[in-house]
Amino acid sequence: MNQSFLDVLWLARMQILQGLGMTLLISALAIVVGTFVGVFVGLALTYGATPLRWLARIYTDFIRGTPVLVLILASYYILGTVGVHLDAFQAGVLALAVFCSSHIGEIVRGALQTIHRGQTEAAKAIGLTFSQTFLYVLMPQAARQAMPSWVNTAAEIVKASTLLSVIGVAELLLTNQQIIARTFMSLPFYFSCGFLYFLINFGIERFGKYVERRLAISTN
């Protein structure tokens, strides 16, 4: 037990890297799928015909009102009882993606509603179809509006991925807990683990700022 933290860290480096890789993979999958689905949820919330809009509204309110941990446990344990058998990784990604999509849906709705009605009318007037109007006129403007909130949600997903440790997915937190159980070095490993989460979210924030700059509209 005379080993220093750095020695242990070095010995456990592959395990930690694997945990980090797992966290990155889960988060990336959940954010990408969640964003993609969320855009459609947002469209349904904003422009959907009444039944579709209500369906989207129930979906977002229900999911947003449910703790993420409950979503994770539900997709791991409950889906199995109705014949959908997912392993812990699949169930975890599904739960986080669903959670992400409901938040992105609300963000997209909010962003679309800030765009002046005249934009849609001008696009229609030159003969663009609805999907063309969305793609070329509304989405670029909405994306810029939504970027800061999107960064927040993405960071939430990364943090929520720690909850997958509960169903046994060997992501970054669970990996560190396993090392701590072996070495009893709780403080330095929790600290270094926290630092890695900070780095991931810092990266997301920088990416968000970069996209925001790219989408910035010149006014002078």
Q: What residues make contact with another protein under the rule CB under 8 A?
A: 116, 118-119, 121-130, 132, 136-137, 140-141, 144, 215, 217-220
Residue in 91, 58, 47, 97 with CA at minimum distance from that of residue 73: 91
Run of H or E including 33? helix 13-47
Residue 12 or 139 having the CB closest to another protein: 139
Residue 16 or 137 having the CB closest to another protein: 137
**What is the DSSP code (8-state) at residue 78?**
I
Residue 5 or 47 having the CB closest to another protein: 47
Smallest distance from another protein to CB 125, Å:
4
Smallest distance from another protein to CB 123, Å:
8
Helix (H, G, I), strand (E, B) or coil at 130: helix
Residue 12 or 137 having the CB closest to another protein: 137
Smallest distance from another protein to CB 105, Å:
23
What is the C-alpha R_g of the chain?
Answer: 21
- The span from the CA of 55 to the CA of 49, in Å, is 10
Smallest distance from another protein to CB 217, Å:
5
Smallest distance from another protein to CB 131, Å:
10
Residue 4 or 119 having the CB closest to another protein: 119
CA distance readout (Å), 205 to 131, 145, 155, 209: 30, 15, 8, 6
Whether the CB-CB separation of 87 and 122 falls below 8 Å is answered with no
**What is the DSSP code (8-state) at residue 23?**
H
Reading the block at residue 28, the tokens are 């990336």
Q: Is 125 exposed, middle or buried (0-12, 13-18, 19+ CB in 10 A)?
A: exposed
Residue 1 or 126 having the CB closest to another protein: 126
The residue with tokens 């810092």 is: 202
Smallest distance from another protein to CB 124, Å:
6
